[in-house]
Structure 1
Amino acid sequence: MKIKEIIVVEGKDDTVAIRNAVDADTIETNGSAIGKKVIEQIKLAKERRGVIVLTDPDYPGERIRKIVSQSVPGCQHAFLPKKEAVSKNGKNLGVENASPEAIRIALKDAQQEESDWDEQICWEELVALGLIGGKKARRRRERLGDLLKIGFTNGKQLYKRLIMFKISSEEFSKAIRQVIKEEKDE
């Protein structure tokens, strides 16, 4: 699978994992202290070929994603579910631990073409469904993020990503029904 866009990753091990999964070029941020030169490279990459951000599903990875998004608006995003990015010993979390298939799926989902979208899920609906506030909110958001392939978020981020990725009411409803069904089956 050849990827036209340049993929932004955190480090060398992530680049190796990407290249084991797909034919693609990467830009490494070298951690969350992203320098001006790296941001300039990402801006140029976005202008010339497009950019997909694929960072670790953890706090530093989300911080890098946020810095890149603010500095270079309009990047595409690919997300790996935490369960796909855990090392065999269960101690490390990162893109470098993901299987080539998991990486291909994440990148494929990031490349979906835009569709006409005029639906918007309201904040009150997220609260009513127990995604914001409450004992099960964090776990529900994590599972919902996996199902919708938008990554783990807090409540505000969830709301923003649903809009940013143009998640339809139908997609959202199907995913939240699955989350609730899984809870009942436990």
Structure 2
Amino acid sequence: MIKELIVVEGKNDTAAVKRAVDADTIETGGSAVDRRVIAKIALAAERRGVIILTDPDHAGERIRKIVSSKVPGCKHAFIPEQDATAKGDIGVENASPEAIRHALAHVHTEFEGAPVLIGMDDLIAAGLIGHPSAAERRMALGNILGIGYCNGKQLYKRLAIFRITPEEFGDALRQMNQGGHTL
């Protein structure tokens, strides 16, 4: 059994998580996360810890931001968009048990006030900002690092709050470039 409670968006996500692992979930009920749900998540974080596992789309990112801004110290699990898409629908409920287990096995913990190890200049030099294929490259890099897709500003922040080292960043760039995602 996973010790932490897993924060998901709805009942179908809970069902998918329970098919993959033995875990308890808290459902946000969508992107309008109310104060009662935040209070429940905060109590869970204090008692057991929480892992946020939301859909790899705009609404899922909004929920992730709301919860992590109100409940410090959350862990984050990310499922790549291609592993959570079925018939044009994106969501945790569409992910295979293997994809969910992989995401939960590679969680990242937020660290407040984390030092910046990778700068904006590094992101520009790597073609992750200001490059014609920057969005595609950020998606590939986010999938390799297990931190999800994000825009350039969010990538900069996630690299810091998840304490991605320059070595991890360099290894991920090499892997991405070898996979055909070159500058």
> Could you state the TM-score of these two structures normalised by the residue count of structure 1?
0.92
163, 167, 174: which one aligns with 2:164: 167
Tell me the alpha carbon deviations over residues 80-107 of structure 1, each in whole angstroms, 9 at most, x when there is no partner.
00111011x2x10000000111101100
Amino acid at match of 1:151: G
1:141 aligns with 2:138: yes
Tell me how far 1:183 sits from its aligned partner: 2.6
Matches within 5 A, 1:104-119: 104-110=101-107
1:51 aligns with 2:50: yes
Size of the aligned set, in residue pairs, is: 179
Q: Percent identity?
A: 58
Q: 1:3 to 1:122 in 2, by over 3 A?
A: same
1:181 aligns with 2:178: yes
Distance 2:15 2:130 in 1: 39
* Structure 2 unaligned regions, length at least 5: none
Q: Which residue of 2 aligns with 1:95?
A: 92
Q: Which residue of 1 aligns with 2:67?
A: 68
Q: 1:111 to 1:21 in 2, by over 3 A?
A: farther
Contact 1:119 1:168 in 2 (8 A): no
Q: Which residue of 1 aligns with 2:151?
A: 154
Amino acid at match of 1:145: G
Distance 1:184 1:96 in 2: 29
SS of the residue 2:118 aligns to: coil
Tell me how far 1:181 sits from its aligned partner: 2.3
Q: Which residue of 2 aligns with 1:14?
A: 13
* Structure 1 unaligned regions, length at least 5: none
124, 129, 137: which one aligns with 1:132: 129
Tell me the alpha carbon deviations over residues 119-174 of structure 1, each in whole angstroms, 9 at most, x when there is no partner.
70111010111101120100000000000000001001101111111111111101
Amino acid at match of 2:173: I
Runs of 4+ aligned residues of structure 1 deviating over 4 Å after TM superposition are none
Contact 2:108 2:162 in 1 (8 A): no
Contact 1:119 1:169 in 2 (8 A): no
Distance 1:7 1:184 in 2: 33
Distance 1:67 1:133 in 2: 28
Distance 1:21 1:180 in 2: 32
> Could you state the TM-score of these two structures normalised by the residue count of structure 2?
0.93
Amino acid at match of 2:10: G
Amino acid at match of 2:18: R
Distance 2:178 2:116 in 1: 24
Mean Cα deviation higher: 40-49 or 172-181? 172-181
1:28 aligns with 2:27: yes
